[in-house]
Amino acid sequence: MRLGTLVGFLAILIALYILWRIKQVLLLAFAAVVFATAINQLVKLLQAKFKLNRRIAIAISVGGILIFIVGFIALVIPPFIEQFKELVTLVPDGLEKLNGWNKWLRNFLPNRLIEDFQGIEALTQNLRSWMNGLVSNFFDLFSSTLAVFLNSLLVIVVTIMLLVSPTPYKQVFLLMFPAFYRRRIQSILKKCEKNLGGWSIGILFNMAVIAILSGIGLWALGVRLPLANSLLAGMLTFIPNLGPVLSVVPPTAMALLDAPWKALAVVILYVVIQQVESNILTPIVMKKQVSLLPAITLLSQVAFAVFFGVLGLFLALPITVVAQVWLKEIVVKDILDLWQPKSDKYGFIPHKSKAKNRLSNK
C-alpha cells in the first residue's frame, strides 16, 4: 500500500471518529435544518399572501411558534405534575385492594389452583416497590433540564440563522464536493428541501387532526385536562408508531382516577383514532407529499434510537426522508443506472453515453 493511500485511509478513519464523537451536535444541527425548512414553508406563505418582507415574515413565524410552545408548556406541565402526584397517592390503595382480592379469592379456590394465583401477591409487592422507587427518583428526571434548555436554545438560534441567510451555508456545503459535481448536488439539495417541506406539511396536518379528534373524544368522556391531553397527542404524532402509544398513557392514568371503565374507553378511543390516522390520513397525505415505506420507517426509528438515543428517535423520520433522496439520486441514478454489463459477463463498465449526458446536465 502506497504512503498516500495509507494517509488517506487514516484521514478517513479519523474524520469518521470525529463525526461520531460530535454526533449530538450534528443531530442538533440537522434538527435546526428540519425546523428551518418547515418554518420556511410558512414564511413563503406569508410572503405570497400578505406581500411581507422576508425578515418580517420570519419574525412573525418564529414568534408565533415560540408563543405556542411556551403556552403549551404552561398549559400541560403544571397540571400533569399535580395529576401525577395524585396518581402516585392512589396507586398504592389500588394495589392494597388487589392484594385483598387475591387473599379473598384464594379462600374459594382448590389447593392445586392456589399456586397459579400466588404470583399476583408477588406482582403487587413488586409494583409497590417500583412505585416507591419511582416517587423517590421522580425529581431526578429533571436533573438534565439545563442541558435540554441549552440544546433547545442552540437549535432555535441556528434555525433563525438559517432562515435569515440560507445561501452562505449552502455554498459552504457545496465546497465539500468537486467543482464538476456541485450543480448536481445543488439540485439534490432542492429535492431534499422539497421532500422535507412536503413531509412537514403532511405531519402538521396529521398532528392537527389527531389533536382535534382526541380533544373531542376526551371531552365527551369527561376526562380531565382534555385540551392538554389532546395537544400532547397531536405533538407525539411527530413520532410514528411509538408516539401514539406514549400519548395514551397520561389520559388513561387520569381516567383511571375516576373509574376503570373510563380508562378502558380512553384506550379504545385512542386505538380508533390511531386506525383512522394510519389507514386514512397517512396514506392520503403522505402519498401526495413524500413516499415512505412503513417497514423502513419503523426500522429507521429503532436504529436511530439505538445509536443516537431520544434525539435520534425524534429525528429518525426526517433523516430517512433526506437519506432516501440522497440514495436515490446518487447511488441509484448517478452510479447504478450508469453501469451496463460487459459483453464478457465478468464485470460491469459505465455506459459512456449515459454518463456523458448526466455529467453535461451537471
Mean pLDDT per 10-residue section of the chain, whose length is 362 residues: 78 88 90 90 88 89 87 75 63 56 60 48 51 50 65 89 89 90 92 86 86 92 83 82 79 78 88 82 63 74 84 86 90 84 52 51 50
Residue in the structure block whose three cell numbers are 459477463: 345
One-character DSSP codes across 41-109: HHHHHHHHHH---HHHHHHHHHHHHHHHHHHHHHHHHHHHHHHHHHHHHHHHHHHHHHHHHHHHHHTTS
Q: Tell me what pLDDT residue 117 has.
A: 46
| Residue whose C-alpha is closest to residue 333's, from 199, 194, 176, 181 | 181
For 342, phi then psi, to 5°, come to -70, 160
Q: What is the CA radius of gyration of the chain?
A: 27
> C-alpha 149: how far from its chain's center?
18
One-character DSSP codes across 281-316: IHHHHHHHH----HHHHHHHHHHHHHHHHHHHHHHH
Q: Tell me what pLDDT residue 109 has.
A: 55
In three-state secondary structure terms, 112 is helix
Kindly state the cell numbers that stand for 331: 447511488
Q: Tell me what pLDDT residue 98 has.
A: 52
**Integer angstrom CA distances of residue 58 from 41, 52, 129, 200:** 10, 10, 51, 17
| Residue whose C-alpha is closest to residue 315's, from 208, 229, 203 | 203
Nearest 5°: the CA angle 357, 360, 362 is 115
Nearest 5°: the CA angle 251, 133, 241 is 40
Q: Tell me what pLDDT residue 87 has.
A: 58
Kindly state the cell numbers that stand for 314: 425524534
Q: Tell me what pLDDT residue 262 has.
A: 85
- pTM beyond 0.75: the answer is no
